[in-house]
A and B are shown apart, each in its own frame.
Chain A
Amino acid sequence: MSRFFVSAEPVDLAALRAELHLDEAGGFCVFEGWVRNRNEGRAVDGLDYESYEPLAVNEGTQIMEEACAQFAISGAVAMHRVGSLKIGDVAVWIGVSAPHRDAAFKACRYIIDEIKLRVPVWKKERYLDGDTEWIACHQTEAGS
């Protein structure tokens, strides 16, 4: 059992955890990505996330299927927020349950790493000085 989705609204995280609380599972690993107040030395006021949702769901679902195939897990759920987020908000949530902990840790790590590489989601940082910037898009060729 696995699923990936994009949400424009805050999500009930306890309900996501409950989906993974399966009888066969001996443990559960979660990664939450939060909006932090600084990036590369600049004071951040919040983030605007957007996605190309049809492709994000296709690619995200593919990543979840890869994790299920590669690791002995019972279930996995991943959620990425879009919209305007403030400091401390949960931007991404990944939960994995498994009979044994090693697979849960590894699958959780795999899913977040692949999401960051492959899923079409973009964040624009809003800085306290009023400026904004699309992260990653502004990097130079050499620095990317």
Chain B
Amino acid sequence: MTATITNNDAHAIRHAMRAAERKRKWRAFFLVAPLALFLLVIFVIPIGALLQRAVENPEVIATLPKTLETLKGWDGSTAPSDAAYAALAADLGKAKGSSAAGGLARRLNYEIPGYRSLIFKTIRRMPLTGPDGKTLSDADIRTRLIQIDKHWSELPFWQAIASNNTAYSPYYLLASLDLKQNAKGDIVRAPAGTSAFLDIFGRTFLISAVVTILTLILGFPLAYWITTLSKRRANLVIICILIPFWTSVLVRIAAWIVLLQRQGLVNKALISTGITDAPIALLFNRVGVYIAMTHILLPFMILPIFSVMQSVPNTCQRAAISLGSHPFAAFWRVYVPQTYPGIGAGTLLVFIIAIGYYITPALLGGASDQMISYYVAYFTNQTINWGMASALGFILLIGTLLLYSLYRRLSGRELGLG
């Protein structure tokens, strides 16, 4: 009798606890949901759409459907059939006056420079009719098209259309790595001089690496110095580091323009100390970019290193010295290794932020100092080549996420300044 009651009670308690736990979980879920949904709509989906745009290839399919249909069995090495010419004329006739024509011309121009004018030239002559207003035979249309422009008799111009028969294409992604697909579908190097994205990636990487090294060289001794100070003084120095950190990036860029200009304080100091006779060009070149980026990113290096150094006991170093080690050796071989987590976190953090930089090189650098972000913006706003902008952005994003996962593994935490 008693046992049954206890069992029932236990069951009831377990049941009630489970219900309470469920309720708690639902409540927590409803608290997280608004932010999750907000970021999904404002952030995750737009970036996902960007990635889709990097492989999307809609122009040829949408504007030349009949042409693609007739080219389906075409081997690519013999002349296309008369039917293909007729279909092309029909498709172009339909596209006349619509905005689709512009998109098609732009897309095909990426494949063969000069294709844009070929398309517009041909479209202007549409529709093709005989002298008496009758419809032409397919063979006549072929002759007329080749009369309009002899490029229509050349295979590469047809191959360019035929190769765009898929809604998705690796074209932009390959192009952002200076690669392309040839007529057979093999991936080959793009001809020299047509694109230089590998150079731009290399430059982005180099600038970021140099800035990372400079911030490490300046940040490490400063962080170490703070650990040797009294709490009050350390706080004061940290405030001195945080003031530039909180100051608008544009204020700091303007300040560097003032300091680095030809008659600026830096050049005056260099001349008065006799290091140079004439002012040195420090702006709108790589030097200015390095200086300003190092200045802007230095706090991102100091703070993580300092936060690790704070927890490194000084006793090991002292023990090493008391055991006969040279103080410098003790510092280098006993102290520094214990700060590696901080160095790793700071280095990766600075590098991750640096590779995405846009404003600083745009305002302080020359044409050959622009980083990958500049070209993403350039293709978005200037040439309206959204496929290319998306592909470059995609590669930048992948690089950043890979480095970030490395950062998380090394530092064992989310992004932060310590």
Chain A partners chain B: no
- Interface residue ranges, A against B (CB under 8 Å): none
- Interface residue ranges, B against A (CB under 8 Å): none
